[in-house]
Each structure stands twice: as structure tokens, then as C-alpha cells.
Amino acid sequence: MDTGGTIPEPPAAPDERDRPRVGVDEWVAKVEERRETHRGLAGVAHRILRFVPPPARLALFVVVAATLPLWMGRGDLFAYGIFTLLYVLLGLGLNVVVGYAGLLDLGHIAFFGFGAYLYALLSSEQYGIHWPATATVPLVVAATALLGLLLGIPSRRLLGDYLAIVTLFFGQAFVFFVNAANPTVAGKGLTGGPNGIADIDPLSFFGYELASRKQQFYFLLLAVALILTGLHFLSESRTGRAWRALREDPLAAEAMSIPVNRLKLLAFAFGAAIAGFTGCIFASVLTAVTAGNFGIPLLITIYAIVILGGVGSLTGVVIGAIVINMSFQFLAPENPQDNARLLFYSLIILLLVLTIRPLWKLAAVFGGVVALGVVVERLVDALAPSWTGGVVVEGGRLAGAVGHWVIIPTGHGRFANVAYVSLVAAVLLLTRLRGNARIVALVPTIYLAAVVWETSFVEQPAVARWILFGALLVSLMTVRPQGLLGTPRVEIV
């Protein structure tokens, strides 16, 4: 073929995202994947992590966590410390099923609930049985593992999303059984119905009771450390490698004579065992369990932790739990709103600093936002004073500055709603713009965000934190689909 002496270029990819082209060598195809892992802040994290070996990471985590009770109040220790560790444990259990074995298990919370209820039955006033934890915990773990096996058996025939549905049913069935069915055993409702089981004993090992929050926290920390170590060895072992093979390509794994069915059952059992253990601790910390503790919202949170941290990565689960629970608790209504406000503005500033490259553009945006705010506020104050009559809710340290910058109307009920919808539209529009247009559009959008924050979000912080959580999930996933520490996967055609 005569092409005039030049060799034609290979055709460009159909869109701007790099995709492996048909017929190209696999190592070459993985170039993008390797580059992705090293890009940006997460890349820095990756490199640090590679530098620090797992035992050192664990030691660092334990040491930092152990200092928490020294500077956190009791309430904060409970919300930030104990609950983060509980989420870590739950995430680790789910990680075994979803991350190691690749099974989409939407009923995992049922194991957690089963463990909690069984512990409650054995250590509370319900039937007057008060076994010490040295007896109940191993029993509960074994029973939950058995339940995991039982669930795994019929699930072997099901693939992918069908497994998801059956496990989801199982989860829902457990909640209904416990809440509504509540069969009468030995004269009493077994699970206490909607009231649940109350007055659960704290964990007691050889007479030593874990009654105070500090003791519970340290016990949890110990448990997390031990389980992390165990899982690390498990993941490096033959079973762990077999699981990874199963996750990557079940057909190829079977062709390599890996006992796929047995592995699936093992994954279920292991994940269930960890969940059951967490259930014991949960029941003893809360001292009462009801069906409402084990619903879908918790399932979603745990999935978010595992996936955001990076499926299959132990450090990822820990970091995911810390990030999600900490931010959730930080934005809680019980936390004075001036703290949340500080976080909000710091995050905006940080985001700007991270994404705008030349320094002068950054300065221009900052200046623009401040100037816009002050100008608008003065104008509106002069023309229609009722539109700036509002008070900065729980102002604290920033009340004065914010009050002169943001317009907060009183008596105009619809304004907050309109501002909110406009903000959503503005943010979506922002993602479509490029270059200088984007930078210019940033200025009013940021001001609008501040207005929405001051008028709606601080008034209803409980709702606002869910909205921010949802937005966080979407943006984190679109920016980094493989999670913080997961490996990006590239499909070969």
C-alpha cells in the first residue's frame, strides 16, 4: 500500500480518557494504571505507605490511638474513638467477603446483629443468664461463623448481583425476625420485639469488667490490632492468594483447580466471625440492642468505608473508617457550629489551594470572593435591610467577619431553598467549564456556597451533614473510583 512514504499514526482513542487499544501489549496497557497510583496526594500517600512496612503502620496507628483518651473528653472518646474502631472492625469483616473474595454480600449486617443478639441473650436479664465474656465471646464467634457457612451454602449457585439480592433478603429477614416475629421461647419473646434486649452486661474477662469507656476503648484497640495482624497474615497466605485469584477471575481460578466453592464458604464464615465478634462488643458497649441498630443505613456506611478506602486493602479500611466517622461526627449538631464552620471554610480554602495552579490566579479568586461578598452585603444592606437582618448562628470566633460578608435574610423563607437549588446547579455547571471560565465561575459559586451554609446548613446541621456526606461519596468516587488505596483496574479488550 502506498502511503506516500509516511507511516500512519495509530488511530486516536475515541474519547479523551486513555483506554488500552486493541492489540496492544498488556504491560504497555498498564502504564496508565501505574501512573494513576502515583499521581497527586493519594500518590504521596501510596509512596509513604510503600516506604512504611505494615508492622510499622500498625504500631503507628496503635500508638496514636492509644493517646486519644488523654486529650479527648469522654463523650468525644465514645463518638470518635470507640465508634471509629467499631466501624473499622465491621469494615474488616466486610473486607474479607467483598475485598478478598469478591462476593457482593448485602446481608453482612445480619451477622453483626446475630452476634449482638446472641451475646445479649447470654449476658443479660432476658433469661437471667450471665455468662462471663470468656465463655460467650468464643461461642458467639463460632455460632456466627456457622451461620455464615449456612448462608454460604445456597449462595454458591448464585453469581454477582443475584447473590446480592439473596444476601439482602437474608439481612432483611433477620431484622424482621428480631423485630416483628419475636417467637416466644421459654415464656418470653426471644428477641424482645421492638423493645429489643436491654440491661446487657459489660464484657468481663476473668472477673475484670470493662465498664468505663476508657477500658472499652483500649480493649477495642487491642482487638483491632490483633485482627489486623491476623488478617494481614491471612491475606499473605495461600488462602489469601487463592481469594485474590477468585476475586480477579473466578473462571480462571477454577481452571487452576482452586477450590472455588470451598473458598467462598470460607470467606463467608470468616467475615461472619469477625462481624459476630464485633456484635458482642457492640452489645456490651451499648448495653441494649434493638432491631433498628442493624438496618440498611449501617450497611451502606460500612460499604462506603470499605470502598472508599480501597477494596481489599487493610490500611484502606482503617483510613476509610477514620475519615468517614470522624467527618460524620465532626459535622454533628452536638458539635458547636463554629467548629463545623471552621472546617467548612478551611476545606474550601484547601481545595482552592490544591487545584489552582498559578499563584496569581489563586490570589485573584480569594480576593474576588471576599470583595464580592463585601460589596453584595453592603449593597443589599443599603437597599433592603431585611435581607441582611439575620444573625450568624452560633457565630463563635468568626461571627463578626462572616456577618459582614454573607447576606442572611430574615423572614424570607423561600430564599434558603432557592439559594440551595441555585448552588447545586452552579456546582454542576462548574464541572462542565474549563480553564479561565471555570476560575471566573468559581467566585460567585463559592460565595453562594457560603450563603447556603449560613442560611440553611447551620440551621439544620443534622440534615446538612447527610447532604455533604452524599456529595462527598459522589465526588470521591468520580475523582478516584478505585478508592484511596485500591488498585485501579484496567479492562483488557
Partner 1 sequence: MKRTLVLAVLTALVAAAAAVTAFGGNAGSDGSGSSAVPAGSDSALIRCGRTRTIGVAAPITGAAASIGSQQLRWARYYVTRYNASHRTKFRVVSGDTQLPDTAQAIQVAERFASNSRILGVVGPAGSQEVQVSSAPFRNGGLGYVSGSATRTSLTNDGSRRGYFFRTVPNDDQQGPRVADYIRTVLKASRVVVIDAQNSYSTGLSDTVEAILKNRGLSVRRESVSEESTTDFSSLVARVPGDTQVVYIPWQLAPKAQLFGQQLRAAGKTARLFGSDGLFDPDSFKIPGSLVSFFPIDLKSKVIAAYRRGPGKGSSELFGLPSYVAADVVVRAVDKACRNGTATRGEVRRNIAATLIPKAQSLLGFTVKFVKQAQAPLAPGDMQRPANFGIYQISASGAYVRVS
Partner 2 sequence: MELPLAFDAQLFIQLTVNGVTLGSLYALIALGYSLVYGILKLLNFAHGDVYMVGAFIGYGVLTALGGPLSLDIALVPLIVLMFLAAMLGSGALGVLIERFAYRPLRDAPRLAPLISALGVSFFLQNSALLLLGAGFRSYDSFLLGSNQPELFVPGPLVDPVFVIHGVNVQTIQVVVLSVTVGLMVALTLFVARTQLGKAMRATAFDREAAAMMGIDVDRVIASTFFIGSVLAGAAGVMFGLLFSQVFHLMGFLAGLKGFTAAVVGGIGSIPGAMLGGLLVGLAESYAAGYVGGRWSDLFVFGILILVLLVRPSGLLGARAINKV
Binding site for partner 1 (CB under 8 A): 40-41, 43-45, 69-79, 83, 179-180, 193-196, 198, 213, 282, 286-293, 295, 297-298, 329-330, 332-336, 339, 342-343, 346, 350, 353-354, 394, 413, 460-463, 466
Answer with the entry of partner 2, partner 1, none that 78 interacts with (C-beta below 5 to 8 A by kind).
partner 1
- Of the candidate spans 24-32, 121-129, 306-314, 367-375, the one that interacts with partner 2 by CB under 8 A turns out to be 306-314
Shortest spacing between CB 397 and partner 2, in angstroms = 26
Residue closer to partner 1, measured from CB, 127 or 345: 345
Sequence-ordered alpha helix ranges (H) in 194-312? 213-236, 238-248, 250-255, 260-286, 296-309
Residue closer to partner 1, measured from CB, 175 or 369: 175
Q: CB neighbours of 9 closer than 8 A, spacing ≥ 6?
A: none
134 binds partner 2 (CB under 8 A): no
Rounded distance between C-alpha atoms, residue 146 and residue 149, angstroms? 5
211 binds partner 2 (CB under 8 A): no
Rounded distance between C-alpha atoms, residue 422 and residue 424, angstroms? 5
Among 31, 66, 420, 426, binds partner 2 (CB under 8 A): 420
477 binds partner 2 (CB under 8 A): yes
Torsion sign across C-alpha atoms 245, 250, 256, 259: positive
Shortest spacing between CB 382 and partner 2, in angstroms = 30
Residue closer to partner 2, measured from CB, 150 or 164: 164
Among 431, 433, 437, 440, binds partner 2 (CB under 8 A): 431
Answer with the entry of partner 2, partner 1, none that 198 interacts with (C-beta below 5 to 8 A by kind).
partner 1
Residue type, position 86, single letter: L
161 binds partner 2 (CB under 8 A): yes
Answer with the entry of partner 2, partner 1, none that 456 interacts with (C-beta below 5 to 8 A by kind).
partner 2
Question: Using CB under 8 A, which residues numbered 69 to 98 contact partner 2?
Answer: 98
Q: CB neighbours of 431 closer than 8 A, spacing ≥ 6?
A: none
180 binds partner 2 (CB under 8 A): yes
Residue type, position 365, single letter: V
Rounded distance between C-alpha atoms, residue 335 and residue 357, angstroms? 34
- Chain centroid to Cα 381, Å, comes to 43
With cell 468559581, the residue in question is 442
Shortest spacing between CB 478 and partner 2, in angstroms = 4
Q: In this structure, what C-alpha cell is assigned to residue 121?
A: 441473650
Question: Using CB under 8 A, which residues numbered 230 to 269 contact partner 2?
Answer: 251
Q: In this structure, what C-alpha cell is assigned to residue 231?
A: 488478617
The site for partner 2, by CB under 8 A, has a size of 58
Answer with the entry of partner 2, partner 1, none that 339 interacts with (C-beta below 5 to 8 A by kind).
partner 1
313 binds partner 2 (CB under 8 A): no
Among 56, 296, 384, 440, binds partner 2 (CB under 8 A): 296
- Of the candidate spans 156-164, 218-226, 337-345, 404-412, the one that interacts with partner 2 by CB under 8 A turns out to be 156-164
Answer with the entry of partner 1, partner 2, none that 83 interacts with (C-beta below 5 to 8 A by kind).
partner 1
26 binds partner 2 (CB under 8 A): no
The secondary element (H helix, E strand) that includes residue 189 is strand 188-189
What are the backbone angles phi and psi of residue 50, rounded to the nearest 5°?
-65, -30
Shortest spacing between CB 176 and partner 1, in angstroms = 9
Answer with the entry of partner 2, partner 1, none that 4 interacts with (C-beta below 5 to 8 A by kind).
none
- Of the candidate spans 66-74, 350-358, 400-408, 473-481, the one that interacts with partner 2 by CB under 8 A turns out to be 473-481
Angle at 54 between CA 49 and CA 60, to 5 degrees: 80
Shortest spacing between CB 182 and partner 2, in angstroms = 7
For residue 188, the SS3 value is: strand
Answer with the entry of partner 1, partner 2, none that 79 interacts with (C-beta below 5 to 8 A by kind).
partner 1
CA 352 → CA 46, 332, 465, distances in Å? 23, 25, 21
Helix (H) and strand (E) counts in the chain: 22, 4
- Chain centroid to Cα 286, Å, comes to 22
- Environment class of residue 29 by beta-carbon count within 10 Å: exposed (0-12), middle (13-18) or buried (19+)? middle
169 binds partner 2 (CB under 8 A): yes
Rounded distance between C-alpha atoms, residue 305 and residue 282, angstroms? 18
Residue 264 near residue 246, CB atoms below 8 Å:
yes
C-beta neighbour count of 89 within 10 angstroms: 26
Rounded distance between C-alpha atoms, residue 456 and residue 445, angstroms? 16
Angle at 444 between CA 442 and CA 449, to 5 degrees: 90
Q: Which residues bind partner 2 (CB under 8 A)?
A: 14, 17, 19, 98, 104, 154, 157-159, 161-162, 164-166, 168-169, 172-173, 176-177, 180-182, 251, 296, 300, 303-304, 307-308, 311, 417, 420-421, 424, 428, 431, 456, 460, 463-464, 466-467, 469-474, 477-478, 481-483, 486, 489, 491, 493
